Amino acid sequence: MNNFVIATRVLLKNKFYSLLNIMGLAVGLTVAIIIFLYVQNDLSYDKQHGDYKNIYRIESNFVISGEDDSYALASQFLPFALQNEYPEVKNYVRFRGAGKVLFRLGDNQFYENDIYYADSSTFTVFDYEMIQGDPKTALDAPNSIVLTESLAKKHFGNEDAMGQVLKTPTNQFQVTGIMKDLPSNVHMRFDGLMSYETLETDKTLLEQQKQQGGLWAPSDFSYLQFADGYDTKALLSKFPEFYDKYMAPFARLAGFDGSFSMNLTNIADTHFNSNPPQFDFATGNRNYIYAFSAIGIFILILASINYMNLASARSVSRSKEVGIRKVMGSTKGALVTQFLSESVIISFISLLLAYGFVALLINGVNMGNLLGKQLEFNLLANPILLVSSVLITLFIGIVSGLYPAFYLSSISTIRALKGAAKSGKGSLNMRRTLVSFQFFISIGIIISTLLMKDQIDFLNDKDLGFNKDNVVIVNMQDTTISNRVEFIKSELMQSPDVVSVSDAIMVGGDTNLGNNLLGASKSLIRAEGSDSVNVDKTYPVLFVGDDYVKTMQLELVAGRDFDKNQPSDRTTGVLVNEAMVKAMGWDEAIGKRVGLPFPGELPKVIGVVKDFNAFSLHNEVEPTVIFHYRFNPFLLAQGAFPSFLIHVNGNNLRSTMDFLETKFVDLDPSHPFEYRFLDTRAEELYREDQRQSELTGLLSYICIFISCLGLLGLASFTTSQRIKEIGVRKVLGASIPQLVFMIFKDVLMLILIGFAVSIPVSYYLIQNWLQEFAYQMPLAQTLAFATIISGLLAILVAFLTVSYHSLRAASQNPVKALRYE
């Protein structure tokens, strides 16, 4: 208690240094705690399920002509067949996307994207929390639906949604359950689940589909649950027997040159899969987790360095206090205990302030929205955070108190009473090293931030090979529109602000963008090789309508576009890109045979377009085949509906969108008018990269702020130590600028050292980060600009920080400094 009282007196006596010490460490701890919560949230993806260690997603691997293709989907028949064949499969759940669903409730109608069909075992395998309804039976009956709490409130308000009926154009569903909203750290997100039994009411049709190669058709996100401790490698080792028994016979019968195997991925590993299969949801990047963890640690180190520097520097001024205590009988042990107690008490005051700041930022300011995460700050519910923050604070308090505790307690009583205890050369060099290390971290993070921003800007500005600006996407919902495409196009072209109209089938729609910009899919393609021998290989494909090349402003380098005046183009012609020509080794592409491996003659290449990026710029341009979707048996069998692509004049956008809405409401009054812009869709591909860049930028400012807090305190202390020297120099004729530069030049040297070390380190880190992108900015040129900017910024901020105290000391009357001489 006595030590606590003394610590309080020391704090109140030196308010300026106390404030710098406490606030600097509190800010560092605040940022470290928030980053800890951020990283903890990311590393706990799908771990909220009690049995997550035993739940695995089935992924389909096809090998066709020696080429591997993996899908996040599996056949709807595979989980049931595996459970029947292998008793170790305890349970299974299938999710099938319902696409964009149009619901009707009374006179209101609305679209919902994230709706899935799901098995009745969903709430048995997964720990989704049900608010109303019986989780065991909610999805048993056909035409039943479970809504999330937010979706129920959105459409029913305060009215009880249980038992209500939601209608679709072809069916109706009764609400049988309300579940809590999903947390942010789940890989597969949904707003509602419709009973899978709705799809399986016709058992005869199901059996026919199964016999006709149903096990080969991936359609569902499928999950298997195993008993505790089961090694899934055992099941995978048995799968070849399953394949030979149930799947190989159909492949031989159909003359299919390929094979199938499955992969099992634990649900906790799906989100951070570095090589995600096709049709997977957007995956995370572990490199960002490592980067933020490192930045959090560095910020905590910066704050700790400030704290230790100021504590050790200010302790020298307390030598007379130590001398008096020794005269009064204080032992070395008591002095050590006192200084350590003071340091630990101040550290824990900073921790308590940090807890308050974190609670305010998360619960008051809602920092989670800025970070794109659903963060929760509850120390009692998060013992890892509580224990680690207390231990780290205790460590900082003890380490920062060690030097003053042992150094001051060991000096002789006479020297202490004379005030002769001075900071030694070793201590001074240590403080300089620590300050230089601070600026090394700060400048390095600033350089990295500038380079990350430049790369994102480079991606947004890069020519994709097609026009993405002012292109409006309007989805067709049923045959009411798709059967009148040409008439609707002519109606839309009546507006002078509509430049061109086309249509295309965009695989995945708006529900699962992934890295797919133009809605391309991947399919087995049979192409005529350079030696006239057909080659089967998987390539990206696009299914488009008339005027697609014109609307998207693709550049034809050979041949021609689909010609609406030649109907045969739709079935006998295809377009390819330059990458396809190169991959096949064609000298002359026009007339080569390329198509889907259906019976009959393959279509001919009628045109070659310049390479364009159908996927995000994380990926290189792949060989791509462009089909006309009309009369294509593959697409007709799938019942797919295309989307309108409308290139509009951007100068009169508001009135143009009003025109489009009026037209579509008149032409299709049974569906609400909904649209998206293609450039917005493109921006979403880099949303995660953009967010990480912004967060890194924010953290770089915090680094500079913390560094400057320490520099401000050290500048004040250094200036006070050299006040007599400044007085003498002023008497001898030194000007104020000379005196300011004298004090600043030491700091400048430390900054330059930190700056020099930070350049190669930043270059190495950014070079590794850029490997995530197939297209990269010119790093050497951008690095030079970023280093100059960051170096000048650091010098300017440091100069302004040091100038306050140095100007104050240099401007005062030298008599005051020399009056004791």
Q: Model confidence over 57-114: pLDDT tens digits?
A: 999 998 876 778 888 999 999 999 999 999 999 999 999 988 788 898 888 888 888 8
Phi–psi pair at 473, nearest 5 degrees:
-105, 120
pLDDT at residue 717 above 70? no
% pLDDT > 70, the chain: 89
Q: What is the pLDDT of residue 662?
A: 92
Q: Please list the residues that pair with 535 across neighbouring strands.
A: 527
Q: Residue 291 gets which letter from DSSP?
A: H
Residue type (1 letter), 714: L
Average pLDDT of 538-566?
A: 91
> pLDDT tens, 436-471?
887 888 888 888 888 888 888 888 788 889 999 999
> pLDDT tens, 641-656?
788 999 999 888 899 9
CB under 8 A, 24+ apart: contacts of 488-492: 488/644, 488/663, 488/667, 489/644, 491/663, 491/667, 492/644, 492/646, 492/660, 492/663
pLDDT at residue 257 above 60? yes
Q: What is the pLDDT of residue 743?
A: 78
- CB atoms under 10 Å from CB of 462, counted, come to 12
C-alpha 97/C-alpha 174 separation (Å) is: 19
- The residue with tokens 């030079």 is 784
Q: What end-to-end distance do the CA atoms of the chain give, in Å? A: 41
Q: Do the Cβ atoms of 580 and 531 come closer than 8 Å?
A: no
pLDDT at residue 755 above 60? yes
C-alpha 59/C-alpha 580 separation (Å) is: 28
Q: What is the pLDDT of residue 637?
A: 46
Residue bearing the bigger pLDDT, 492 or 366: 492
C-alpha 555/C-alpha 610 separation (Å) is: 5
Residues 6+ apart with CB under 8 A from 22: 11, 346, 349, 350, 353
Report which listed range, 326-330, 663-667, 737-741, 802-806, is most confident.
Answer: 663-667
Tell me the pairing of strands 165-167 and 172-179.
antiparallel
Per-residue burial over 12-26, b if 16 or more Cβ lie within 10 Å, else e, is: eebeebbebbbbbbb
Structure token digits, residue 687:
């949303």
Structure token digits, residue 131:
């608010």
Residues 6+ apart with CB under 8 A from 50: 127
Lowest-confidence region among 57-66, 95-104, 500-509, 630-639:
630-639
- The residue with tokens 């056949």 is 75
Q: Which contiguous run of DSSP H or E holds residue 4? A: helix 2-13
Judge residue 819's burial from the number of C-beta atoms within 10 Å of its C-beta, 0-12 exposed, 13-18 middle, 19 or more buried.
exposed
Q: Mean pLDDT across the chain, nearest whole number?
A: 84
C-alpha 287/C-alpha 285 separation (Å) is: 5
Structure token digits, residue 471:
């292109």
C-alpha 304/C-alpha 393 separation (Å) is: 9
Residue type (1 letter), 597: P
Q: Do the Cβ atoms of 765 and 454 come closer than 8 Å?
A: no
C-alpha 176/C-alpha 163 separation (Å) is: 6
C-alpha 753/C-alpha 755 separation (Å) is: 5
C-alpha 361/C-alpha 366 separation (Å) is: 6
C-alpha 88/C-alpha 184 separation (Å) is: 31
Q: Do the Cβ atoms of 526 and 580 come closer than 8 Å?
A: no
pTM for the full model? 0.80
C-alpha 121/C-alpha 51 separation (Å) is: 14
Residue bearing the bigger pLDDT, 373 or 350: 350
Q: With H, G, I as helix, E, B as strand and everything else as coil, classify residue 606.
A: strand
Residue bearing the bigger pLDDT, 175 or 337: 175
Average pLDDT of 565-576?
A: 89
Judge residue 43's burial from the number of C-beta atoms within 10 Å of its C-beta, 0-12 exposed, 13-18 middle, 19 or more buried.
middle
Q: What is the pLDDT of residue 419?
A: 57
C-alpha 775/C-alpha 778 separation (Å) is: 10
Structure token digits, residue 757:
């070390």
Residue bearing the bigger pLDDT, 223 or 728: 223
pLDDT at residue 152 above 70? yes
Residue bearing the bigger pLDDT, 233 or 568: 233
pLDDT at residue 519 above 70? yes
Residues 6+ apart with CB under 8 A from 253: none
Q: What is the pLDDT of residue 575?
A: 95
C-alpha 716/C-alpha 725 separation (Å) is: 15
- CB atoms under 10 Å from CB of 83, counted, come to 16
Q: What is the pLDDT of residue 521?
A: 80
- CB atoms under 10 Å from CB of 301, counted, come to 18
> pLDDT tens, 286-325?
877 888 888 888 888 888 877 777 766 666 666 677 777 7
Q: pLDDT confidence of 423, banded at 50, 70, 90?
A: low
Q: Do the Cβ atoms of 118 and 196 come closer than 8 Å?
A: yes
Q: Do the Cβ atoms of 577 and 615 come closer than 8 Å?
A: no
Lowest-confidence region among 76-80, 320-324, 583-587, 741-745:
320-324
Q: Please list the residues that pair with 63 across neighbouring strands.
A: 68, 259
